[in-house]
Amino acid sequence: MISYEHFILDNGLKVYVHQDNSTPFAAVNIVYNVGSRDEEEHKTGFAHLFEHLMFGGSKNIPSYDTPLQKVGGENNAFTSPDITNYYITLPAVNLETAFWLESDRMMALSFDQKVLDVQQKVVIEEFKQRYLNQPYGDVWLKLRPLAYKTHPYKWATIGKEISHIENAVMDDVRGFFYNHYLPNNANLVVAGNVTVEQVKQLCKKWFEPIPAGNVVKKNLPIEGIQTASRFLETEAEVPLDAIYKVYHTQGRHDKGFNATDLVSDILGRSKSSRLYKLVMENQIFNSVNAYVTASLDPGLMVIQGNLNQGVSIEEGDAAIQDVLDDFLKNPVSEEELTKVKNQAESTLVFSEVELLNRAMNLAFAANAGNVEYANQESSRIQAVTTDEIAQYATKTLTKDNCSTMYYRAKK
């Protein structure tokens, strides 16, 4: 259980304090309720571009990293389809430095054309290196629009195409900032060797003067039910043929999510999983695994594998389908379910050893609408039954609900 206390500032910023006096450090995590799903289809990649711009200086602080490094702090950020997350870890005695830095860029980001020019080049280079010039790097650029036809999950966080980043202008940047980077569109978690009263005073000093804004109401299109299988074939200079099969599933906090997540664990989490036998016993795959995307809106279960030399993708596809057919036909035993439950819970428990992870878990849950989600995960995992495993496996792993991509290695 992650203990916390909660209060809301007059400007709508929601604040959570997790006190842990066993450490000399503090973590400050701010999650903004904006991700790539909030972009327009002809202007994608903005949430990720903005993550970069937030480190380009603000009104009173031209260099974000320098003062933080002077007090022994570290920082980073990441963007997903659902959120943009910023975090700092530093000695707790220097906590106010984090408040000063984060509040200044929330209040008054530096809209400097030189910074925009530089960060556009950085993001474009990242797009090329990680997605276009890396083996299998473009998989999700192709898989997302295959699986999603309506919902903005159909483009990757990096963006749909490079030109959207190249064509970004300062007016676009200002508009994005004032629509989304608002105190009443954010959740702040402060964790570590701090007190609630200390955090309240720092919040009143640094964050409360920032005015609330008009948060853009989310009106995201709903993805329709997939009623027929989809297929895509591509090729590139990659080491091995690969196959990707994706199935529509529930959102992260929807009913049945944990059961579906455990289905993916039974199929492909560990060396004792069903699909792993195709690696060790049948030697069809060089590697194979299964997982769920765990997005806030309905996501995907993914089965992916790289074929061994001399094995065709068609053989690999048929072998995966044999495993799925057997899984749907034969009930999961209590012993097998208990094993994957324990694996999932141990991952959760070990992750919460880290102070920053606890802060993030609270922030993500609060952003999803209920901070208690962070403390309910273990009980939700343990509550899953074998009947639910069968129910959601049958619902998810149908051929009509599947999008398949064959990724062939150029000969």
Q: Can you tell me the distance from the alpha carbon of 7 to that of 187, in angstroms, rounded to the nearest whole number?
A: 11
| Residue 128 half-sphere exposure toward CB, CA atoms < 13 A | 9
Per-residue confidence at 411, pLDDT binned at 50, 70, 90? confident
Answer for the pair 30, 14: CB distance below 8 angstroms, yes or no.
Answer: no
> pLDDT value at position 280?
87
Token pair 């004792």 is found at 272
* CATH class given for the domain over 230-409: alpha beta
Domain 5-206 fold is Cytochrome Bc1 Complex; Chain A, domain 1 (3.30.830)
Q: Is the CA virtual torsion 167, 169, 175, 181 positive or negative?
A: positive
Mean pLDDT (whole number) for 377-397: 97
Per-residue confidence at 59, pLDDT binned at 50, 70, 90? confident
CATH 3.30.830.10 in the chain: give the residue spans. Answer: 5-206, 230-409
Token pair 């809106």 is found at 297
> pLDDT value at position 270?
87
CA distance readout (Å), 317 to 183, 203, 276, 353, 405? 48, 55, 14, 39, 10
Residue 238 sits at φ, ψ, to 5 deg, of -125, 160
Q: Is the CA virtual torsion 147, 153, 154, 155 positive or negative?
A: negative
Tens digits of residue pLDDT in 170-182: 999 899 999 999 9
Q: What is the CB neighbour count within 10 angstroms for residue 266?
A: 21
Tens digits of residue pLDDT in 344-366: 999 999 999 999 999 999 999 99
Mean pLDDT (whole number) for 369-391: 97
pLDDT of residue 110 exceeding 90: no
Q: Alpha-carbon dihedral of residues 368, 199, 73, 120, nearest 10 degrees?
A: 50
> pLDDT value at position 217?
87
Tens digits of residue pLDDT in 280-297: 889 999 999 999 999 999
Tens digits of residue pLDDT in 217-276: 899 999 999 999 999 999 999 999 999 999 999 999 999 999 999 999 999 998 889 999
Tens digits of residue pLDDT in 131-154: 999 999 999 999 999 999 999 999
User: Which tokens in the block code for residue 338?
Assistant: 């208990």
User: Which tokens in the block code for residue 188?
Assistant: 């702040």
- Give the chain's largest Cα–Cα span: 66
Per-residue confidence at 216, pLDDT binned at 50, 70, 90? confident
Tell me which amino acid residue 88 is: I
Per-residue confidence at 310, pLDDT binned at 50, 70, 90? very high
> pLDDT value at position 96?
98
Q: What is the pTM of this model?
A: 0.95
Mean pLDDT (whole number) for 206-212: 97
Provide the percentage of residues in the chain whose pLDDT is more than 70. 100
Contacts (Cβ under 8 Å, ≥6 apart) of 85: 29, 30, 31, 32, 77, 78, 79, 360, 363, 364
CA distance readout (Å), 309 to 40, 267, 321, 334, 411? 42, 23, 20, 37, 12
> pLDDT value at position 387?
97
